[in-house]
Structure 1
Amino acid sequence: MSYNIALNFEDGVTRFIRCNAGETVLDAAYRNRIKLPMDCADGVCGTCKGRCRQGSFELGHDYIDAALTEQERAAGNILTCQMVPSSDCVVDIPAASSLCKTGTTEFGGTLAEINLVSPTAIALNVVADEPIHFLPGQYVNIQVPGSHETRAYSFSSRPGCRELHFLIRNVPSGLMSTWLVRQARIGERLTLSGPMGVFYLRPVVRPVLMLAGGTGLAPFLAMLAQLKVTGCKQPVHLIYGVTHDDDLVGIEALEQCAAELDQFSFKTVVADANSRHPNKGYVTHHMEQATMGQGEVDVYLCGPQPMVDAVLTHFRDQGIEPASFYYERFSPSIAAITEHVA
């Protein structure tokens, strides 16, 4: 028996390791050549302190209160030298990956399919050389063939598979967009590195509101794919906004999720005033189905920077304070995704 442990470093890098039954996270990390912060390994110094975001574990009694107080333990803090997982876990490590002698994992894949699903979006499918583990919502860097440049794209497929799906904005004259549209050939090799990012699905313990803009739908497709596997007892509502009618993509996948997940519902919104779509305007105009009362809702937001900024302003002006608020904004003019968690 062994468990998948996601180590999330403060620079956004995530490394997955296998932890054997009865093994501490610290020992499993060292076995995988990841040098987590540590001075004593005996529960005395507190140097190996982290935080378990999800999963179950046992925390031994061989540590002193100065290393981990009762209040810290109640808040989810752990000592990696004492933490023995009993399920898959996600653990925050308050150190940069480079300081732990590790970094993003590089892996290869084969280009399997390219579809221009709209004038503004490209669906890219890659078959990885081996199953890729990530947290639903995270992203990976893909090297543009023929260059040293990389571009960051969120997975839109569920974790643990070889078949990786991405929904990419088709940027005019963009380096990756140009290569995909004009030069790419099925069967070509790609180099990817990751996973990365702190925008990922947490345990669903209360109603969830998902707000997606454009190709910001991608991480939500990964989250929903995972929920189809794990199940969900809480209401999950997605509002998906685009600029023009032609920008709406992934509707069949959303409809399938709605058919398979009893607690899931979604609404699409088009901003163009000339659209014939029944729901016009912005995502903030169509939140009536969301359970926002008393703040008992977890909000996930992903889209282009103007859309994310507008939603943040709306929430602030309306005094909306969700129980948890996770958001990620991206710009087609930069190579990496800028992330925020509040």
Structure 2
Amino acid sequence: MSIDQNNQLNAYADLVKLYPDNEAYLRKYAELLLIENKQTTAAEVLRHLHTLLVNRGEHKQANTLATTFPQIGRIRNGIDPNDDRIDKLLPTTMQNSLWLRLHQHKVKEGHHLIQRGEHEETIYLVCEGELAEFIWSSDGKPVLLNLITLGNVVGESYLFNPGPHKSDIVANKDSIVAKLPRKKILAALEKNPSLKIALQQKSASRLINARISSSPLLQNVPLNMRKDLAEQSHTRQYAAGETIHKAGEKLDHVDLVAKGSAHFQLLGKGIFKELKTLGPGSLIGESEAVHIQGCPADMIANSNVTVVRIPYNAFRNVVEAHPPLRNTLIAYAEKNQLQIMSKLNEL
């Protein structure tokens, strides 16, 4: 550490003691600590700053801070739950209390509204109570995807892409839902672009969350963290034989194989050798080693592949905030390394 840096660090340490709630002093002090690799103290300062911003109601600034400094280990919070409501965007006739009463259905606690496999193309609006959406893990355990509350809808994705439901919708408590006629909703979408965009965004976010939740590595992460990852992620499609990543490519994201399969391959003596198959639920770029050193080998699509691309900082935030995930990922990385090394030895 240079004398000037040392003086600066000491000066800001004193300023923070005198003014513990000064945002500018806290941020500068944390940045100086990080330069000197004093990670623990820097994280404490940044967490204090994050808490201050949240308490002031400055959620946008708090979220930006958490994204910029993943060591905070905080997930975006303080978002107004009403921001997610759809009822205010519905046509006036569907907001009318009399119309809603005529289309309402009661769902007892623990009873299904929709069962997996059903061909139900109706949108339901929650008027009272709460619905839970869940899928089943490979070992037969339920994995919660969503809690659908007052003013929100369920079934919106099947409005755009009809087909059998891939999840179960159950009443978490005694609930009342209104069945929104498919034809009227489709007609309303043409007249109301805001409603169409809101439903499409909700459908896309829920689909990504379902894909994240289907991964055995991530399905035990708390729901709010999985939803946070989903909101910041997007999907990419690759055709069979297409290169997804080149060996040594630096990644600023984590890839989750959601559909199809890919493999790592190595060129030796003019012949491509497959090192490891990556099926649904596999992660690439999840470890610090891969993030820094790059992809361990060429990654090629075996078939048509759908990948969920998660920003690395968002992923690291979840790892910091949910320690059990760190242990899961360490074991996963070690297993992958052993498999690749074993294959290399064979070759």
Per the TM superposition, whether the score is higher than 0.5 is no
More strand by share: 1
More helix by share: 2
Report the TM-score when normalising by structure 1.
0.27
Q: Choose 1 or 2 for highest CA Rg.
A: 2
